[in-house]
Each structure stands twice: as C-alpha cells, then as structure tokens.
Structure 1
Amino acid sequence: MDKVLVLGGSGLLGTAIIKEMDKYKKYEIYTTYYEHLPSINQGSCFNLDLEDVENISCVLNNIKPKIVISCLRGDFEKQLILHTKVAKYLKENNGKLYFFSTTNVFDNDYRKPHYEDDAPNSRTDYGKFKIACEKRIIEILKENACILRIPQVWGKESPRLKQLINAINNNEAVTVYPKLFLNVNSDEMIAKQLSYIIENRLIGIFHLASEDIDNQSSFYKKLIMELGFKTVLMNESLEEKGDFALKSKRMNEFPEYLRVNSKAVIEYLTAK
C-alpha cells in the first residue's frame, strides 16, 4: 500500500480528501493537524506546529510517505520553509507532492479568466506566497510536483456556508458583488478530482473549478433561494469587479462525472 500524508487533514478540504481516498482501500493514509484532531482517521494523526518547522522531518521519517498532499494553512514564511523540506525529502525518495494553490496567484489581473499556462501575477501577500511555493516545489520536484489551483471552495460544513446562514438567521445584510465574476467548486468534487489525478498519474498544473463563470451576486442569490430563505437583506457592493476565475485547458482529461458547474455545487450544498 502506498503511504499518503495529508498536510492539514483537519480542515475542510483535507477531511474530504481523506474520506475519498480511503474508499480505494489501497492507500495507508496519515495526516497532520495543529490544534484540533481530524474528525476521521484519528489513529494516524501527527501534530504539526509551524513554529517548529523541523518537526516535519520527524513526521516524514516516521511515516515515509510516497505521496504528500498539502492543504496546509498558517504563517506564509514558515510554510515555504516546510514545503521546501517536504519537496527535498520526496526528491530523495522518489515521491510526489500535490500542492493546493489558489486563484489568488492571478489577483493582479481581473481583466480575464486565467488558464493553467498563464504566468501567475499577484498583488497580495497570499497570492505571492502561493506563487513562491509553486515555484520552489516545481524547481525541486519537476515532474513529481502537481499544482492544483482552486477557486472559492464550498462544503456543507464550510465556514463560508455557515457564515452565510448565520448572517441570514441573524437578519444581517449579506454583501454581494454584482460586477465580480468567478467560479466555484465543492470540497467533495475536488477530492474526487484529486483522487483521479493520483490514480491516473497525471502531472503538471490543474485548475479545478466549475466550467462556467457566474456573477458572484447571482451565485449567492441562487444559493440563498435554494437554501429556502425568502427574504434576505442584500448589500450590493461595487468595490470588487472584473473576472476572478480559473479556466482549464485540461478538463478533457477528466471523465464527464468529474466536470462540474455552479448549479451542481448549489445542488450539492442544498441536498438533504
């Protein structure tokens, strides 16, 4: 069995990935956490504190993974050091790293959606950090690095959905952006797409996002309606505008059931 280490396994995406990969019964899955034990796979968890980045070497040498999946959050500088150590370990041991990046690597250019082969261009610390991680990982691992850029991610237990529902229940205004265009994905679908990438040994950069691009305001209004809320206070803001979306030239590498649109994300979130 291949040993798989999920960095950040207690988060929304990490939890979904562990659940999905466990279905294959061919992986020995381990995970790291910081403060809260993951809700699943608790017998194979390792505490990882970014304040002690040397700790990752102990985790790697103890587990000896062939595959590392990073959904890690935390201090940007320490994360970069940690991912460098992970990449060097995997290079020495012929392992693979699947690194979750973000739409924000393109957040300095809202003029158009961005494809896998577009050069990253960011104005924010978060986007610049992700670009630095992508570059470092690829430099070290080359074809054994897989970069997975994701848009706004929703899940049934996601903080984003909980905050929306709480705001509505508390009669607070929901801010929407009628001039901002984006795409989305769900934790469950991303986990399925990643598992397919690993199973089929696909390499390179992937943009894992809904194939359609929706107006942010329109998406929120459709989601709120499907959640069953009739009267909701809306605060329309024109501060954010333009295209903040990922497009993919590689979706033909996926079977039809792994291709998603914003309607499917809403259906998943509102299914009983």
Structure 2
Amino acid sequence: MLNILVTGSHGQLGSEIHELSHEYPNTYFFTDKEELDITDAKTLRQYIEHNAINAILNCAAYTTVDKAESEEELADKINHLAVKYLATIAKEHNIKLIHISTDYVFDGTIYRPYLETDATNPQSIYGKTKLLGENALLHTKLPNSVIIRTSWVYSSYGANFVKTMLRLGKEKESIGVIFDQVGSPTYAKDLAKTILEILPKINNTQTEIYNYSNEGVASWYDFAQEIMKMAKLTCKVNPIETSQYPTPAKRPHYSLLNKSKIKNEYTIEIPYWKDSLEVCLRKMGERK
C-alpha cells in the first residue's frame, strides 16, 4: 500500500485518476491548488512529511498555452519550480514520482513519430516552462521517477477540444479547424489507467522519459470531423491552415509520439484514438 499524493486532482487527468483509484487500492491524497500550493516549497514539504507520502503523481500544470505567453512567471512557477521542489523533496524521502509533460517540448519539424531521445526545441512559453520542469527533475537524479510526455488530452472532465467541438457543433452551421497540425489525441482515462498500472512497477536508478498518447494519427480537422460524426452533428467542418488562425503561442506542426518504449517496458496496450473517443462520448451521453 502506498500513500499517494495526486496534485492537480481537479484537472482532466487528476479527475480520471480519482475515478479509477478504487480499482487500485492505496491511500490517496487528492489535492489541487486550493488544498496544497505546490509552488510553496515549505508548505509542500510539511504536507508530504505529515502525511508520510511515498509516491507522487504530479498532474498539476499551467496548461493555458496562449495565456502563458503573457503570464510566463506564473507558468514557470507551476511547470518548472514546483517540479523542482517536488523532485528535491522526493529525493530526500525516497519517494516515487510520476510527472506529466507534453509534446510541446518539441518543435514539430521532424515529421516522424518523436522518440524520447529526440532533441527538444519548444516554441512557446508553455513548452519552454514544461521542458524546464523536465530538466529540473532530471538534474535531481531522482531514482524511481518517470516523466510521461503526452498530447492533445481530453476527458469528460474539464475544458477541452472535444467539449468545444460539441458546443460549436450544436451552435453553428460550419466551423474552420486546422488541418496542418498533426498528432494523436489522448483520452485522459487511458493515461490515468496506465499511470496507476505502472506506478508499483517503477524500479529505475534514474529518471526515465516515456511517450504516451492514443494510437493512430490525426489532424485537429480529422479529430473534429470524427467528433461531429459520432455525435451526429450536422455542423460542417472546413479545413484551414495554421496561418489562417493566428494564436499568441506557436504550436508544433507535427508532434506524433512513438510509444514503443512504454509499451515494451511495461507491457501495456494502448487503445486507438477513435475507439477511446467513442468511449468518452458515450460516457458524456453524446454518442448518437
């Protein structure tokens, strides 16, 4: 039995872990910024020591990609400094740590599925602060720790692309969605299940990086089309280029992740993205 601290527990991934936690008997401490400020090292240390935490699932992050361009200090506190504090305390107390990162640490110019060993080159403040968090953890040389890079996360919880498309699909006759950014959606429930399954198996002398997303390839346009199709919405989805929809933050054009490492080392099966989308829409009552 582990005493597991789950940060960011009100977010998409944290909520899915909460829902699945009864299937993985442990003692869980579900916290969000209201319950625990992970950017305050002293408070964080006191909480971890008081509750005898011996495993941490860091799902907390500043994820508002465009807003991060004007809120770099706040994004850095959450995505970088908080990870440094968690890693430092975990090293002192021999605590297992799984930290969630992003495909935005890459620049999207390779045009083949990214390996964990490929060079990073983030193009946004969000991506840069997430990479700083990764590097802080790596620098700590914390054994029994894992970084999981994921992409295009959605869930029945929280705000996400799927919910936005469902709303627009009901309100509008047509919308434009970007077709020249390619990756793979990730159903947060699938990632949560993987995290809870691999946690007791982690046994490494240094931090290991793994990629995780659902199987398959899609553009945002493909993703939107499938949402409309499964929900039987008549809204027409028109493909547009990134240049037609300028945003403050630059996003990678190609960020497909190679998942061979996590599949081979932990013997896990990853669902196809369309199958997982159907599961999520059924749960939301939107699959028609």
Q: Please indicate the TM-score interval, normalised by the length of the shorter structure.
A: 0.7 to 0.9
Which of 281, 285, 288 is the equivalent residue of 1:270?
281
List per-residue Cα deviations over 1:130-180 (Å, max 9, x = no partner).
Answer: 111111112214332200111101212341222221112221643312222
Q: Which position in structure 1 is the counterpart of 2:137? A: 137
Q: Which position in structure 2 is the counterpart of 1:9? A: 9
Distance 1:135 1:129, change over 3 A: same
- Relative contact order (C-alpha < 8 Å, sep 6+): which is higher? 2
Please give the alpha-carbon distance, in whole angstroms, between the structure 1 residues aligned to 2:196 and 2:151.
Answer: 18
Distance 1:60 1:175, change over 3 A: farther
Identify unmatched segments of 5+ residues in structure 1.
Answer: 36-46
The number of equivalent residue pairs is: 258
Please give the alpha-carbon distance, in whole angstroms, between the structure 2 residues aligned to 1:12 and 1:179.
Answer: 26
Please give the alpha-carbon distance, in whole angstroms, between the structure 2 residues aligned to 1:110 and 1:166.
Answer: 34
The more displaced of 158-167 and 183-192 is: 158-167
Identity of aligned residues (%): 22
Please give the alpha-carbon distance, in whole angstroms, between the structure 2 residues aligned to 1:242 and 1:135.
Answer: 24
Give the alignment's TM-score, normalised by structure 2.
0.82
Which of 41, 44, 47 is the equivalent residue of 1:56?
44
Identify unmatched segments of 5+ residues in structure 2.
Answer: 63-73, 244-251
Give the alignment's TM-score, normalised by structure 1.
0.86
Q: Which position in structure 2 is the counterpart of 1:127? A: 127
Q: Which position in structure 2 is the counterpart of 1:38? A: none
1:220 correspondence with 2:221? no
Q: Which position in structure 1 is the counterpart of 2:241? A: 238
The more displaced of 87-96 and 172-181 is: 172-181
Q: Which amino acid aligns with 1:28?
A: T
Higher strand share: 1
CA-CA distance at 1:238 after TM superposition: 0.9
Distance 1:89 1:254, change over 3 A: closer
Is this contact kept in 2: 1:50–1:78, CA < 8 A?
no
Please give the alpha-carbon distance, in whole angstroms, between the structure 1 residues aligned to 2:219 and 2:84.
Answer: 37
Please give the alpha-carbon distance, in whole angstroms, between the structure 1 residues aligned to 2:123 and 2:87.
Answer: 26
Equivalent residue of 1:157, what SS? coil
- CA-atom RMSD in angstroms: 2.2
Equivalent residue of 1:143, what SS? coil
Q: Which amino acid aligns with 1:148?
A: I
Please give the alpha-carbon distance, in whole angstroms, between the structure 1 residues aligned to 2:76 and 2:220.
Answer: 31
Distance 1:85 1:186, change over 3 A: same
Q: Which position in structure 2 is the counterpart of 1:182? A: 183
**What does residue range 161-176 of structure 1 map to in structure 2 within 5 Å?**
161-171=162-172, 173-176=174-177
Is this contact kept in 2: 1:53–1:78, CA < 8 A?
no
Distance 1:157 1:174, change over 3 A: farther
